[in-house]
Chain A
Amino acid sequence: MSQRTLELGFSGHSEERRVEVPPDAPPPWDLRSDLKVAGKPHPRLEARLKVTGAARYTADQRLPGMIFAGAVRSPHAHARVRRLDLSRAKKLPGVLYSEAYPQREVRYAGQAVAALAAESEQVLDDALALVEVDYEVLPHVVRTEDALAEDAPAVAGRRNVRQGRGMRRGSLRRVEEAHARADVVLTREYRTQVQTHTCLEPHGSVARWEGDRLTVWASTQATFAFRQTLARALGISAAQVEVITEHMGGGFGSKFGADAWDVFAARAARATGRPCFFMLDRRAEHLVAGNRPDSIQRCTFSVRRDGKLLGAQVTSHGTAGLGRGAGVLNPAIYAFEATYSDQYDVLTHAGSARAFRAPRHPQGVFALEGMLDELAEAIGMDPLELRRKNDPHPVRQAQYDVGAEAIGWSRRKPSGSSPGPLKRGLGVAAARWAHNARPGTAVRCRIGRDGSVLVANGSQDIGTGTRTILAQIVAEELGLPLAAVEVRLGRTRDPYGHGSGGSVTAPSIAPPARRAAYACRQRLLAAVAAALGCEAESLSLREGRVHGAERELSFAAACGLLPTESIEATATGGPEDMSYPSFTREVAGVQFAEVEVDAELGTVRVVKVVAVQDCGLVANPLLARSQINGGVLQGISYALHEERILDARTGDMLNANLLDYKILGAREVPEIVAIPFSVANGRTSTGMSSLGEPPTVPTAGAVANAVANAIGARVRSLPITPEKVLAAIAEAERTRRASDGEKKKKKKKRIF
């Protein structure tokens, strides 16, 4: 062990900390580290491949003899399959394989009842149309509110409402005591909608057998979990399967394992001895490939007149379709005296939810941040001031200043005071996230005698930039330019890496990458020292050269001195480089939004969003900004547009395409000011924090607060559509008139 003193924190707010560094690990980077490649804005390594169309995604595999698969899906939300007849389809020339799923009941629109594989996509389409299914339609319930009703059809078991496990938290008694001490207690209902992931690249895979070995090209955000789930479903060992994800077109939480269609593709390929291709179409993407659950959140919050937050109590009901996990996460940001939450899953006849970028957070924060603004309004305090008073996080405190300056918070006017039909408003909201660096990721680094450097890990780059970050870390450690490092990702024959969920990938992969490079570096320097007859400690590696007391030589020449063809080290992320004491316990972020609302049409235009996001030590500002921009994009889209609409009558989705399921486009996107906020946490040897998810958490809350500030009325339901805006304005108008009337009456009484 060696002792090191680190400078941790962020500019203007730092402290020294002494740590013990294990002998085979590099000391953590801190504020004093003078990094040359890591932390710099390098364009992503695979950018050229992606802009020229050369990057190969799953559906781009063109294998000789490949066949195509698809499914017959139920148009009904709830039905009994009376008869399922594949005989006509199977007779069609070119149909090669089929499976029927004669389950007694289908329980959501889109559920597969049969699947086929055929010679070509054209034959497949014809064959799917020949499958005969006779449904007896049964009563269904697809909306959360309807499923709560006493006489609602039971979806599974007797009751549609289930309490999520571990979903009652805090103390109701303490919250009630806190409310009793408050000056203002407000009860409000907030609602959020079901959102679908809408990855541009659909789910699916291409499977090929060679003997008893299976290779699968998959659009997945978890190559190893995909391999595991697929192997299990096929009854083979994971060692027989290789999963390849070279490039993938977005997952956002919906692509964590092998799905039914992937299993079918593998079975069809095995049965026919030909590679099989199965990608979902856009309709199936919306119906069967996951979604973010909705929520009905009943909130009672209280505050003292001086701005001290007291109690926060939330009861939420939401539907994850046939799945579970519709809870929300609300009051973890501010220091309430007491909190209590009670969360229920409501079963409906709809496709199951899946993890979706920051599961539970955006919906909870929308309610939480709305409640905060309502409390601020009630006690006549600036909403930012209320947050500053109650936010214990030192990083967010600094971020409030940065963000307020960038958006021009001092321009904010009292809610509803914006004159004319086009009304401007400002809003703020915050986010928290955990430092999710997870042990267990393994990275192999190899230096060849020819001077080549290869870094390998079997996990995937889902668009975040993992490949580039890996190269930066290793180049930094070896004192090389970025271009000198080659990265291989996305093949499960390489060392293990986690799924890209919980924003773990970069923070978990970087420390072992650095340690593997560090080990190679030590061995390279030892070899050079032996050849030159000097001490390894007297040598250093920087700017592509080995520097000694008397001489220096190029990296390539140094590698030429290696006694073996190559040296190689594999490091696994673990306590030695991932569990130093951390400067902060949580990742912090704040966002500010400016909107313009047309009070006559009810339309909302987001003018600007400022997103200040704690990144730990910024791995690459270019990539960090992209993550933040993307989080904000999805947040605005969620706030204003997206909503899965299930028809109560038929149970089918009314907008299962990209035209009617509106996602934010280039025309609506505002100016986004993404501010990566660098914090040296010192927790891991590379210092970067989770970044993929937190930037999407506060956006909808900030936008909603800005809308309320603009129009002086609150829309408590997402998406904030023109109808809801107009209704909120009308409602506020009515209330104002009524209270004006009251006041007049009182005045009259006094006079007479």
Chain B
Amino acid sequence: MRTRLHVNGEAREVEHEPQETLLSLLRYRLGLTGSKEGCGEGECGACTVFVDGAPVVSCLVLAAQCEGAQVTTIEGLGRGHPDGLHPVQRAFIETGAVQCGFCIPGIIMAAADAIEREPDADRESLRRLVAGNLCRCTGYTKILDAIELARARARSGGPPCSTK
């Protein structure tokens, strides 16, 4: 079957199997392999992308459901930001929040959403907002540090975080 959607701002028309997931469409059909598959069952969050501005685990979304949708993936998150990096991405680099990196695209998507949706969330609430994303390497400590750093910068008049 065929689905038309916007991915990272570009109009795409993609031929795919009826039962194919959005994750599979992104990774296999469009070659956007930044979104990862850690479980394929909606449990790890590595495949998180935005569909019409809301974060979803793309392994549980059917591609066919995305007709006409605006999809943003990790590859498109930094669009329009200085040096092509969303403030959350930049903060992840600076604080050393990345290790093996497999969970990172999903966590960054969740984090970017979190600081936009709840700009005043304290650290405890931030934990809740990224609780759907598992990481086996980092201890989350620096991930939370990075999110806080990005949010602090956004508040103090840094570049806007919105990319949706």
Residue of A nearest to B90 (CB): A51
Residue B58 at the chain A interface, CB threshold 8 Å: no
Q: How far is the CA of A44 from the CA of B89 in the complex (A)?
A: 13
Residue B43 at the chain A interface, CB threshold 8 Å: yes
Residue B71 at the chain A interface, CB threshold 8 Å: no
For B27, list chain A residues within 8 Å (CB): 60
A250→B17 contact, CB < 8 A: no
Q: In the complex, which of the residues A53, A199, A462 has the most CB atoms of chain B within 10 Å of its own CB atom?
A: A53
Nearest Cβ on chain B to A70's Cβ, whole angstroms: 12
Do A633 and B33 contact each other (CB < 8 Å), given the known contacts A53-B75, A282-B41? no
17 contacts between A and B (CB under 8 A): A41-B96, A47-B92, A51-B85, A51-B93, A51-B104, A52-B75, A52-B84, A59-B33, A200-B36, A282-B38, A282-B41, A626-B139, A630-B99, A658-B41, A659-B41, A665-B134, A672-B139
For A329, list chain B residues within 8 Å (CB): none
B36→A201 contact, CB < 8 A: yes
For A632, list chain B residues within 8 Å (CB): 139
Contact of B142 among A463, A626, A659 (CB under 8 A): A626
Q: How far is the CA of A199 from the CA of B130 in the complex (A)?
A: 19
Q: How far is the CA of A198 from the CA of B102 in the complex (A)?
A: 12
A57→B36 contact, CB < 8 A: yes
Nearest Cβ on chain B to A709's Cβ, whole angstroms: 23
Residue of A nearest to B74 (CB): A53
Residue A657 at the chain B interface, CB threshold 8 Å: yes
Cβ contacts A261-298/B at 8 Å (1 or 0 each)? 00000000000000000000110000000000000000
Contact of A667 among B36, B101, B131, B137 (CB under 8 A): B131
Q: How far is the CA of A665 from the CA of B103 in the complex (A)?
A: 12
Contact of B101 among A198, A247, A623 (CB under 8 A): A247
B138→A46 contact, CB < 8 A: no
Cβ contacts B69-112/A at 8 Å (1 or 0 each)? 00001110110000011000100111010111111110010000
Residue B39 at the chain A interface, CB threshold 8 Å: yes
Q: How far is the CA of A414 from the CA of B39 in the complex (A)?
A: 45
For B44, list chain A residues within 8 Å (CB): 200, 658
Within 8 A of B (CB), among A45-72: 46-57, 59-60, 62
Using A200-B135, A633-B137, A669-B127 as known contacts, list a sample of 12 further A-B pairs with CB atoms less than 8 Å apart, ordered by residue number in A: A47-B93, A53-B35, A54-B75, A62-B33, A200-B46, A247-B100, A247-B101, A250-B136, A628-B139, A658-B43, A659-B41, A667-B131
For A48, list chain B residues within 8 Å (CB): 85, 93
Residue of A nearest to B78 (CB): A52
Nearest Cβ on chain B to A43's Cβ, whole angstroms: 5
Q: How far is the CA of A674 from the CA of B33 in the complex (A)?
A: 33
Residue B141 at the chain A interface, CB threshold 8 Å: yes
For B141, list chain A residues within 8 Å (CB): 629, 669, 671-672, 674
Contact of B140 among A198, A463, A633 (CB under 8 A): A633
A463→B74 contact, CB < 8 A: no
Residue of A nearest to B146 (CB): A51
Residue of B nearest to A198 (CB): B136
Nearest Cβ on chain B to A245's Cβ, whole angstroms: 12
Residue A564 at the chain B interface, CB threshold 8 Å: no
Interface of chain B, main secondary structure:
loop
Residue A73 at the chain B interface, CB threshold 8 Å: no
Do A200 and B140 contact each other (CB < 8 Å), given the known contacts A52-B78, A282-B40? no
For A446, list chain B residues within 8 Å (CB): none
Residue A634 at the chain B interface, CB threshold 8 Å: yes
For A672, list chain B residues within 8 Å (CB): 139, 141
A53→B105 contact, CB < 8 A: yes
Residue of B nearest to A249 (CB): B102
Nearest Cβ on chain B to A92's Cβ, whole angstroms: 14
Q: Chain A interface residue count: which class?
A: 35 or more
Give the 5 A-B CB pairs with smallest separation, nearest first.
A53-B34, A463-B100, A249-B102, A629-B139, A50-B101
Contact of B136 among A43, A634, A657, A667 (CB under 8 A): A634
Residue B20 at the chain A interface, CB threshold 8 Å: yes
Nearest Cβ on chain B to A21's Cβ, whole angstroms: 34
B34→A54 contact, CB < 8 A: yes
Residue of A nearest to B143 (CB): A666
B89→A52 contact, CB < 8 A: yes
Residue of B nearest to A121 (CB): B24
A625→B33 contact, CB < 8 A: no
For A625, list chain B residues within 8 Å (CB): 96, 142
For B135, list chain A residues within 8 Å (CB): 200, 666
Residue B121 at the chain A interface, CB threshold 8 Å: no
Within 8 A of B (CB), among A611-635: 622-623, 625-626, 628-630, 632-634
For A56, list chain B residues within 8 Å (CB): 33
For A626, list chain B residues within 8 Å (CB): 96, 99, 137-139, 142
Q: How far is the CA of A726 from the CA of B13 in the complex (A)?
A: 58
Cβ contacts A332-367/B at 8 Å (1 or 0 each)? 000000000000000000000000000000000000
Q: How far is the CA of A122 from the CA of B131 in the complex (A)?
A: 31
For A538, list chain B residues within 8 Å (CB): none
Q: How far is the CA of A634 from the CA of B139 in the complex (A)?
A: 8
A463→B134 contact, CB < 8 A: no
For A629, list chain B residues within 8 Å (CB): 138-142
Residue B32 at the chain A interface, CB threshold 8 Å: yes
Nearest Cβ on chain B to A263's Cβ, whole angstroms: 23
Nearest Cβ on chain B to A198's Cβ, whole angstroms: 6
Residue of B nearest to A125 (CB): B19
Residue B113 at the chain A interface, CB threshold 8 Å: no
